[in-house]
Amino acid sequence: MDTEQKHRLNKTPGVINLLLKNQLDLAALVRNQRLQAGPKGGKMTADTLAELAGVSRDTIFRIERGEDVSFSTAMAVLRVFGLGLSAAPVQWPTLSTAQQHFQTQ
């Protein structure tokens, strides 16, 4: 696949291309998807999402609060929305960068 094809894939309508760095990013994604996935673009209830994913309603709320859940649980919920995960390099701050950021002057 050439660069132009990859660029077009990232611009495809309906394709979500987000970088999830932590459980709060997952929480926002699941919450936003649920609130748009109901009938006629309305809200899907947590009960409905839980039933479709094969998890409890409390698990859905735990995900939406940014709490830790297992990888398989997160994947089960994402599959309901037709989503999966892919890995990408992420630039994390180095120790020296963090120390410089928090130095008081």
**What's the pLDDT tens digit per position in 68-84?**
999 999 999 999 999 99
Cα–Cα dist 87/83, whole Å? 13
**pLDDT confidence of residue 57:** 97
Q: How far is CA 42 from the centre of its chain?
A: 19
Cα–Cα dist 30/64, whole Å? 7
Cα–Cα dist 76/102, whole Å? 39
Cα–Cα dist 21/8, whole Å? 24
In this structure, the number of other CB atoms found within 10 A of the CB of residue 53 comes to 21
Helices (H), 11-86: 23-36, 46-53, 57-64, 71-80
**What's the pLDDT tens digit per position in 4-48?**
433 333 444 455 677 888 899 999 999 999 998 877 778 999 999
Domains assigned to the chain: 17-86 (1.10.260.40)
**pLDDT confidence of residue 15:** 58
